[in-house]
Chain A
Amino acid sequence: MTQAKKITTPLDDNKIMQLKAGDSILITGYIYTGRDAAHKRLIELIKKGQELPIDLKGQIIYYVGPAPAKPGYPCGSAGPTTSYRMDPYTPYLLDRGLKGMIGKGLRSQEVIESMKKNKAVYFGAVGGAAALIARSIKKSEIIAYEDLGAEAIHRYYVEDFPAIVIIDCQGNNLYETEPPKYRK
């Protein structure tokens, strides 16, 4: 693999355009967590026309429900969860300025179209590499929906969080381009 590119959050169109499917990335800055239950609540607010507990503009949402932190650790093991379950909600968030998502697994065509329209990127983190990934999470705080426990929205400060660009803002998709090279 090529040398990893370093990026910092928040993201803007200029940074997004430089990210290509297949790029190995190290992310530094603040990112937000959110998975099934938090997405459901965010979309309910959007549909009611109410304000969200976080400003999504330029931000990254990491699909994760971390394990509890051991004493002395800022965060417990925290690998990605499977992304397709967030697909029905994602275009609403992209329309509100979300620029990146970190997860694992396939995305729907609707999500990919919305990513192209809104210039956003889908990053993959390695599923099951949760203890390794947690080492890049330096600070963790709950921002919203504390009652959801592991599913609450956390804000992480990450340093060199390891990810791969899976789908870029032009719709190039590593899940479509890589496997055929090894198919027999």
Chain B
Amino acid sequence: MKIKLREIKANKIKDKVKELFLRANYHIDQDLMLRLEEALREEASPIGKTVLKMIIENNKIASKEEVPICQDTGLAVVFVEVGQEVHLVGGDFTEAINQGVKEAYQEGYLRKSVVDDPVFERKNTKTNTPAIIYTDVVPGDKIKFTVMPKGFGSENMSALAILKPSDGPEEIVNFIVETVRKAGPNPCPPTIVGVGIGGTADKAMVIAKKAIARKIGEHNKNEKYAAIEKEALEKTNSLGIGPAGLGGKTTALAVNINYLPTHIAGIPVAINVCCHAARHAEGIL
């Protein structure tokens, strides 16, 4: 059988990744801007209102002037869905992605925040590489990229629990709310709380991170999981932490759950928190 492959040049991958990181770092998506404006209308705390106004104004300035929304332009996370009928030519896949990141960060006046050795030297690589790359092979002849410059003020508030099969929605909601409570003002609330349930410990965290990139207003398609999202969001916003942690009704803008099948013996639950500057961009080659 003859298989028809679609050739994609490595250079195109580099250019696409570069374009997406620049876009993500300068422009907040419209759905998130609308949600912030809605939060401003509903916020009861005067300080909270001031903070939300500053965030909205900041995002407008960043977009208009094409400067970074936040100085922490993040660790470069890239989710790639590669069509199995794609044939990459003219270079190396991982190298092309890293080159795209490097060019975006060096030419786009983005902060380089990667250190080579996490414990000892902690020497800045000056390119913001290597990127964190997750690749899935899917049917088709296209490559889809979702890039996420992930700030560490919020990443540092990540948490993992391995619940028991006897646990249920209540324990999951409690773990989510407790994680947000403990994080307090640190992750730059109002946050987007990504939750991964099932799989393995590591996979749960990956799908939690992916959940952050979901469009605001969309919920898990399984209504039982959507109900957990709704309850966790309500309880989170009852904590009183508020914008910047200075009190108010808006502690989280969304709780987004992804789930996967898991083992008979456990329920991994991973939480990946994202600040209000939830930056991501998607593109297809």
A→B interface (CB under 8 Å) = 1, 22, 24, 37, 64-70, 73, 76-79, 81-82, 84, 104-106, 124, 126-135, 148-150, 162, 164, 166, 174-175, 178-184
In the A-B complex, list the 6 residue pairs whose CB atoms are closest, starting with the nearest.
A178-B247, A183-B240, A127-B188, A182-B240, A179-B240, A132-B58
Check B188 against A132 for contact (C-beta < 8 Å): no
Q: Kindly state whether residue B83 has any CB partner on chain A within 8 Å.
A: no
Check A149 against B126 for contact (C-beta < 8 Å): yes
**Contact check: which of A73, A77, A175 meets B70 at CB < 8 Å?**
A77
A111 to chain B, nearest CB (A): 14
Check A181 against B55 for contact (C-beta < 8 Å): no
Residues of B within 8 A of A162 (CB): 54
Residues of A within 8 A of B153 (CB): 81-82, 104-105, 127
B37 to chain A, nearest CB (A): 16
B173 to chain A, nearest CB (A): 15
Q: Kindly state whether residue B31 has any CB partner on chain A within 8 Å.
A: no
**Contact (A179, B71) CB under 8 Å given A65-B113, A70-B109, A105-B184:** no
Check B68 against A179 for contact (C-beta < 8 Å): no
Check A178 against B111 for contact (C-beta < 8 Å): no
User: Which chain B residues numbered 17 to 68 have a C-beta less than 8 Å away from chain A?
Assistant: 44-48, 50-51, 54-55, 57-59, 61-62, 65, 67-68
Q: Kindly state whether residue B244 has any CB partner on chain A within 8 Å.
A: yes
Classify chain B: how many residues form its interface, as a range: 35 or more
Check A78 against B55 for contact (C-beta < 8 Å): no
**Contact (A76, B186) CB under 8 Å given A37-B122, A179-B241, A180-B240:** no
**Contact check: which of B44, B111, B186 meets A182 at CB < 8 Å?**
B44
Check B185 against A106 for contact (C-beta < 8 Å): yes
**Contact (A183, B67) CB under 8 Å given A81-B72, A127-B188:** no
Query: Which B residue's beta carbon lies closest to that of A70?
Result: B109
User: Which chain B residues numbered 227 to 246 have a C-beta less than 8 Å away from chain A?
Assistant: 238-242, 244-246
Check A104 against B109 for contact (C-beta < 8 Å): no
With A77-B69, A130-B58, A131-B59 already in contact, 12 other A-B pairs whose C-beta atoms are closer than 8 Å: A77-B71, A82-B186, A126-B55, A128-B275, A130-B71, A131-B58, A131-B61, A178-B242, A178-B247, A179-B241, A182-B240, A184-B238
Bound: A84/B54 CA distance, A: 23
A63 to chain B, nearest CB (A): 11
Interface centre among B55, B153, B156 (most CB of A within 10 A): B153
18 sample A-B contacts, Cβ–Cβ < 8 Å, listed by A number: A65-B71, A65-B72, A67-B109, A79-B72, A104-B185, A104-B244, A127-B70, A127-B244, A127-B275, A128-B70, A131-B62, A131-B69, A132-B58, A162-B54, A166-B246, A182-B45, A182-B248, A184-B238
**Contact check: which of A65, A149, A181 meets B240 at CB < 8 Å?**
A181
Q: Kindly state whether residue B77 has any CB partner on chain A within 8 Å.
A: no
Check B246 against A175 for contact (C-beta < 8 Å): yes
B18 to chain A, nearest CB (A): 16
Check A66 against B111 for contact (C-beta < 8 Å): yes
Bound: A131/B68 CA distance, A: 7
